[in-house]
Amino acid sequence: MELIDFSQPPTLTDDGLTLRKHRLEDVDAVYERCRDAASIAWTTIPREYTRDMAEEYVKGLLAGDGPTWSWALEADGTYAGTLDLRFSGVDNAEELELARADAERFGGVRPLPTGEVGFVTHPAFRGRGLMGRAVRLGLGEAFRRGLIERAVWKAKAGNVGSLKAARAAGFPPHIEAPAILSERGINNDGWVSVLTREQWETAQSEAG
Protein backbone atom coordinates (compact mmCIF):
# COMPACT_ATOMS: atom_id res chain seq x y z
CA MET A 1 0.00 0.00 0.00
CA GLU A 2 1.48 3.32 -1.03
CA LEU A 3 2.03 6.34 1.18
CA ILE A 4 -0.50 9.05 0.36
CA ASP A 5 0.33 12.74 0.46
CA PHE A 6 -3.10 14.22 1.10
CA SER A 7 -1.88 17.74 0.33
CA GLN A 8 -1.15 16.66 -3.26
CA PRO A 9 -4.19 15.06 -4.89
CA PRO A 10 -3.26 13.62 -8.28
CA THR A 11 -4.09 15.79 -11.27
CA LEU A 12 -6.60 13.98 -13.49
CA THR A 13 -8.05 14.99 -16.86
CA ASP A 14 -10.92 13.89 -19.05
CA ASP A 15 -12.02 15.68 -22.24
CA GLY A 16 -11.87 19.28 -21.08
CA LEU A 17 -12.39 18.53 -17.38
CA THR A 18 -9.46 18.70 -14.97
CA LEU A 19 -9.28 17.63 -11.34
CA ARG A 20 -6.46 19.52 -9.68
CA LYS A 21 -5.21 20.83 -6.37
CA HIS A 22 -6.99 23.95 -5.13
CA ARG A 23 -5.28 27.32 -5.47
CA LEU A 24 -5.61 30.56 -3.55
CA GLU A 25 -6.98 32.02 -6.78
CA ASP A 26 -10.04 29.79 -6.24
CA VAL A 27 -11.12 31.60 -3.07
CA ASP A 28 -13.57 34.01 -4.70
CA ALA A 29 -15.25 31.24 -6.69
CA VAL A 30 -15.42 29.01 -3.60
CA TYR A 31 -17.06 31.88 -1.73
CA GLU A 32 -19.60 32.30 -4.55
CA ARG A 33 -20.62 28.64 -4.48
CA CYS A 34 -20.86 28.66 -0.69
CA ARG A 35 -23.24 31.64 -0.79
CA ASP A 36 -25.45 29.92 -3.36
CA ALA A 37 -28.93 29.11 -2.05
CA ALA A 38 -28.92 25.51 -3.30
CA SER A 39 -25.50 24.83 -1.77
CA ILE A 40 -26.71 26.10 1.59
CA ALA A 41 -29.97 24.15 1.38
CA TRP A 42 -28.42 20.77 0.63
CA THR A 43 -25.10 20.86 2.52
CA THR A 44 -23.73 21.80 5.93
CA ILE A 45 -22.22 25.07 4.67
CA PRO A 46 -22.86 27.77 7.31
CA ARG A 47 -25.62 30.19 6.38
CA GLU A 48 -23.48 33.20 7.29
CA TYR A 49 -20.52 32.17 5.16
CA THR A 50 -17.85 34.85 4.65
CA ARG A 51 -14.99 35.31 2.24
CA ASP A 52 -12.54 34.94 5.14
CA MET A 53 -14.07 31.53 5.82
CA ALA A 54 -13.57 30.59 2.18
CA GLU A 55 -9.93 31.64 2.33
CA GLU A 56 -9.35 29.67 5.53
CA TYR A 57 -11.04 26.66 3.94
CA VAL A 58 -8.85 26.74 0.83
CA LYS A 59 -5.69 27.19 2.90
CA GLY A 60 -6.68 24.13 4.92
CA LEU A 61 -7.07 22.13 1.72
CA LEU A 62 -3.63 23.23 0.55
CA ALA A 63 -2.14 22.06 3.85
CA GLY A 64 -3.65 18.60 3.39
CA ASP A 65 -5.53 18.60 6.69
CA GLY A 66 -6.95 15.13 7.29
CA PRO A 67 -7.10 11.96 5.15
CA THR A 68 -8.82 13.51 2.14
CA TRP A 69 -8.06 14.13 -1.49
CA SER A 70 -9.76 17.43 -2.23
CA TRP A 71 -9.91 18.36 -5.89
CA ALA A 72 -10.92 21.57 -7.58
CA LEU A 73 -12.84 20.94 -10.79
CA GLU A 74 -11.64 23.10 -13.65
CA ALA A 75 -13.65 23.53 -16.85
CA ASP A 76 -13.17 26.19 -19.51
CA GLY A 77 -10.10 27.30 -17.55
CA THR A 78 -12.26 28.18 -14.55
CA TYR A 79 -12.97 26.72 -11.10
CA ALA A 80 -16.20 24.73 -11.39
CA GLY A 81 -16.59 22.98 -8.03
CA THR A 82 -14.99 20.86 -5.33
CA LEU A 83 -14.83 17.08 -5.00
CA ASP A 84 -13.64 15.42 -1.80
CA LEU A 85 -12.69 11.76 -1.44
CA ARG A 86 -12.43 11.07 2.29
CA PHE A 87 -10.49 7.93 3.15
CA SER A 88 -11.51 5.89 6.18
CA GLY A 89 -9.06 4.43 8.67
CA VAL A 90 -7.08 7.63 9.28
CA ASP A 91 -9.47 9.89 11.13
CA ASN A 92 -7.30 12.64 12.56
CA ALA A 93 -3.87 14.26 12.40
CA GLU A 94 -2.43 11.98 15.09
CA GLU A 95 -3.49 8.84 13.23
CA LEU A 96 -2.18 10.32 10.00
CA GLU A 97 1.26 10.82 11.54
CA LEU A 98 1.21 7.26 12.90
CA ALA A 99 0.33 5.95 9.46
CA ARG A 100 3.16 7.91 7.91
CA ALA A 101 5.57 6.60 10.56
CA ASP A 102 4.41 3.05 9.82
CA ALA A 103 5.00 3.65 6.13
CA GLU A 104 8.57 4.78 6.71
CA ARG A 105 9.24 1.78 8.94
CA PHE A 106 7.45 -0.97 7.05
CA GLY A 107 7.20 0.34 3.50
CA GLY A 108 3.44 0.84 3.41
CA VAL A 109 0.43 2.22 5.21
CA ARG A 110 -2.50 0.60 6.92
CA PRO A 111 -5.31 -0.11 4.47
CA LEU A 112 -7.73 2.69 3.67
CA PRO A 113 -10.56 0.46 2.47
CA THR A 114 -13.36 3.02 2.09
CA GLY A 115 -13.62 6.36 0.35
CA GLU A 116 -16.62 8.63 0.91
CA VAL A 117 -17.33 11.23 -1.74
CA GLY A 118 -18.61 14.73 -1.08
CA PHE A 119 -19.03 17.41 -3.70
CA VAL A 120 -20.46 20.81 -4.57
CA THR A 121 -20.71 22.29 -8.06
CA HIS A 122 -20.40 26.02 -8.65
CA PRO A 123 -23.84 27.27 -9.76
CA ALA A 124 -22.47 28.56 -13.07
CA PHE A 125 -21.49 25.01 -14.06
CA ARG A 126 -24.53 23.00 -13.00
CA GLY A 127 -26.49 20.99 -15.54
CA ARG A 128 -23.47 20.00 -17.63
CA GLY A 129 -22.78 16.61 -16.05
CA LEU A 130 -19.35 17.71 -14.85
CA MET A 131 -19.60 16.39 -11.30
CA GLY A 132 -20.68 12.91 -12.36
CA ARG A 133 -17.64 12.73 -14.63
CA ALA A 134 -15.42 14.11 -11.88
CA VAL A 135 -16.58 11.53 -9.32
CA ARG A 136 -16.07 8.73 -11.82
CA LEU A 137 -12.57 10.02 -12.56
CA GLY A 138 -11.55 10.38 -8.92
CA LEU A 139 -12.92 7.01 -7.83
CA GLY A 140 -11.31 5.33 -10.81
CA GLU A 141 -7.93 6.61 -9.67
CA ALA A 142 -8.47 5.35 -6.12
CA PHE A 143 -9.72 1.94 -7.23
CA ARG A 144 -6.92 1.47 -9.77
CA ARG A 145 -4.28 2.28 -7.17
CA GLY A 146 -5.80 -0.15 -4.68
CA LEU A 147 -6.52 2.56 -2.11
CA ILE A 148 -10.17 1.66 -1.50
CA GLU A 149 -12.35 -1.43 -1.61
CA ARG A 150 -15.63 0.46 -1.67
CA ALA A 151 -16.90 4.00 -2.20
CA VAL A 152 -19.77 5.59 -0.29
CA TRP A 153 -22.09 8.40 -1.36
CA LYS A 154 -24.51 10.11 1.02
CA ALA A 155 -26.85 13.03 0.51
CA LYS A 156 -29.79 14.65 2.22
CA ALA A 157 -32.98 12.96 1.03
CA GLY A 158 -34.41 14.90 -1.88
CA ASN A 159 -31.08 16.13 -3.27
CA VAL A 160 -31.78 15.02 -6.82
CA GLY A 161 -28.80 16.88 -8.28
CA SER A 162 -26.37 14.97 -6.07
CA LEU A 163 -28.16 11.71 -6.85
CA LYS A 164 -27.82 12.30 -10.60
CA ALA A 165 -24.09 12.89 -10.23
CA ALA A 166 -23.65 9.74 -8.13
CA ARG A 167 -25.59 7.59 -10.60
CA ALA A 168 -23.63 9.04 -13.53
CA ALA A 169 -20.44 8.13 -11.69
CA GLY A 170 -21.51 4.49 -11.47
CA PHE A 171 -23.10 4.21 -8.04
CA PRO A 172 -25.97 1.68 -7.88
CA PRO A 173 -29.52 2.67 -6.86
CA HIS A 174 -29.67 4.26 -3.42
CA ILE A 175 -31.50 3.37 -0.24
CA GLU A 176 -33.11 5.87 2.13
CA ALA A 177 -31.84 5.85 5.70
CA PRO A 178 -33.74 7.71 8.43
CA ALA A 179 -32.03 10.40 10.50
CA ILE A 180 -28.57 9.55 9.15
CA LEU A 181 -27.32 13.08 8.47
CA SER A 182 -26.90 15.77 11.10
CA GLU A 183 -27.25 19.36 9.89
CA ARG A 184 -27.46 22.47 12.06
CA GLY A 185 -28.64 20.43 15.04
CA ILE A 186 -31.26 18.48 13.08
CA ASN A 187 -31.09 14.82 12.08
CA ASN A 188 -32.21 14.46 8.47
CA ASP A 189 -33.12 11.44 6.40
CA GLY A 190 -30.47 10.59 3.86
CA TRP A 191 -29.89 8.76 0.61
CA VAL A 192 -27.00 6.29 0.59
CA SER A 193 -25.30 4.19 -2.08
CA VAL A 194 -22.19 2.00 -2.00
CA LEU A 195 -20.01 1.12 -4.99
CA THR A 196 -17.67 -1.83 -4.43
CA ARG A 197 -14.41 -2.53 -6.17
CA GLU A 198 -15.99 -5.60 -7.78
CA GLN A 199 -18.85 -3.52 -9.18
CA TRP A 200 -16.41 -0.94 -10.48
CA GLU A 201 -14.20 -3.58 -12.13
CA THR A 202 -17.25 -5.21 -13.74
CA ALA A 203 -18.36 -1.86 -15.15
CA GLN A 204 -14.86 -1.25 -16.50
CA SER A 205 -14.84 -4.64 -18.23
CA GLU A 206 -18.27 -4.11 -19.75
CA ALA A 207 -17.20 -0.70 -21.03
CA GLY A 208 -14.37 -2.37 -22.90
Q: 180 in a domain, yes or no?
A: no
Q: 41 in a domain, yes or no?
A: yes
Q: 202 in a domain, yes or no?
A: no
Q: 194 in a domain, yes or no?
A: no
pLDDT in tens, the chain (208 residues): 456 777 789 999 999 999 999 999 999 999 999 999 999 999 889 999 999 999 999 999 998 867 899 999 999 999 999 999 999 854 444 555 565 566 666 665 454 478 999 999 999 999 999 999 999 999 999 999 988 889 999 999 999 999 999 999 999 999 999 998 887 778 999 999 999 999 999 998 887 6
CA dist., res. 70 & res. 115, Å (int): 12
Q: 191 in a domain, yes or no?
A: no
Q: 101 in a domain, yes or no?
A: yes
Q: 177 in a domain, yes or no?
A: no
Q: How many CB atoms lie within 10 A of CB 19?
A: 24
Q: 170 in a domain, yes or no?
A: no
Q: CA-CA distances (angstroms) from residue 176 to 73, 105, 207?
A: 28, 43, 29
What is the domain count for the chain? 1
CATH number of the structural domain spanning residue 143: 3.40.630.30
Which residues span the domain enclosing 38? 12-151
